[in-house]
Amino acid sequence: MSLARNLLLRASRSKWLAHQASHRAFAQRAVRRFMPGEDVGAALDASAALKAAGFGTVLTQLGENLTTLAEADAVRDHYLGLFDQIKARGLPIQVSVKPTQLGLDLSAGACLAHLLVLAAKAEATGTWLWLDMEDSSYVDRTLELYRGLKARHEKVGICLQAYLRRTPADVAGLLPLKPAIRLVKGAYAEPPTVAFESKRETDLAYYDLANTLLGAAARREAYTILGTHDIGLIDRLSARASELKVPDGAWEIHMLYGIRSADQRALQAGGKTVRILISYGKSWFPWYMRRLAERPANVWFVVKSLLSP
């Protein structure tokens, strides 16, 4: 792991830095590159603008590792209201949640109960519910939650991380469920026994896993999402999807708001289905540090943008 990435990931876990950043105007200006605002209204307005440009979106409220079940209840209620707003505005929005937002650290049963309520609401409003993946200590519990959801609801998906050494086995275990899987590279600090350290190893793992998932999508046995900003990988995997004759609607590309926007438009213009992930909320610091750690060169871009008139 590079020194810059390691420092950024360590910073993402600092409550002191998070508190300091939340009170600094320059930090708030920097984060606006990656999110349209802290409140849900800004996220919905951005989704409406992207709909006009032909993009669907995925919304998620930032925040994780809550400390009381009452907080988890409030998050559940927030998302229930969000689904209502999505339907009222007629927007092509899906919703993604973190299990620890819904009380996984406190009660797996309560977390599953909240997720089942949200999956039913997503189904009733004609959209999808996604489970984000957190660090490696949560993988088994998150997979179990997903299995519980998938047994009852069709339009539920899960995120898997290519840099984890265990992910090929996890994919194989999920394929009998005809899953919806968003494959990302991974953005948490993990020991080398758990995750690949080099970009090359992660890229190779990503390609192999995506190839497996696209093969399943070609057989209508998976809904495959390429969650990456690596244009070289996207081009190779898009060509592979064509070779495999993956049908329209069986795979998509998901990219983050504010990152490679020109490439997002180019991919869409080339006939690809591109959906934009929009995050909102006040708990943005850990998420923002992990985004920078994915590509530490982004730090220099942010500094230049802050210094420019």
Q: Which CATH number is 103's domain given?
A: 3.20.20.220
| Model confidence pLDDT, tens digit, residues 43-79 | 999 999 999 999 999 999 987 778 899 999 999 999 9
**Among this protein's residues, is 166 annotated catalytic?**
no
- State pTM to two decimals: 0.85
3-state SS assignment for residue 2: coil
Asked if residue 5 is part of any domain, the answer here is no
Residue of 5, 76, 170, 182 marked catalytic? 182
Domain for residue 305, yes or no?
Answer: no
What is the span of the domain harbouring residue 95?
36-283
Residue-wise pLDDT tens digits, 78-104: 999 999 999 999 999 999 999 999 999
Q: What is the largest CA-CA distance in the chain?
A: 54
- Residues 194-232 have pLDDT tens digits of 999 898 999 999 999 999 999 999 999 999 999 999 999
Confirm whether 39 is a catalytic residue: no
Tokens of 45: 């307005």
Tell which residue, 74, 150, 59, 67, has the closest CA to residue 112. Answer: 150
pLDDT tens digit sequence for 155-203: 999 999 999 999 999 999 999 999 999 999 997 879 999 999 898 999 9
Reply yes or no on whether the pLDDT at 34 is more than 80. no
Task: Identify the pLDDT of residue 292.
Answer: 60
* Residue 9 belongs to a domain: no
Give domain status of residue 213, yes or no.
yes
Q: Which of 5, 76, 132, 275 is catalytic?
A: 132
Report in angstroms the alpha-carbon separations of 188 from 62, 146, 261, 291: 15, 21, 24, 10
The amino acid at 261 = S
User: Would you say residue 309 lies in a domain?
Assistant: no
- Total domains in the chain come to 1
Whether residue 296 is contained in a domain is answered as no
Reported confidence tier of residue 120, pLDDT bands at 50, 70, 90: very high
Closest among 53, 52, 54, 140 to 99, alpha carbons compared: 140
pLDDT attached to residue 4: 52
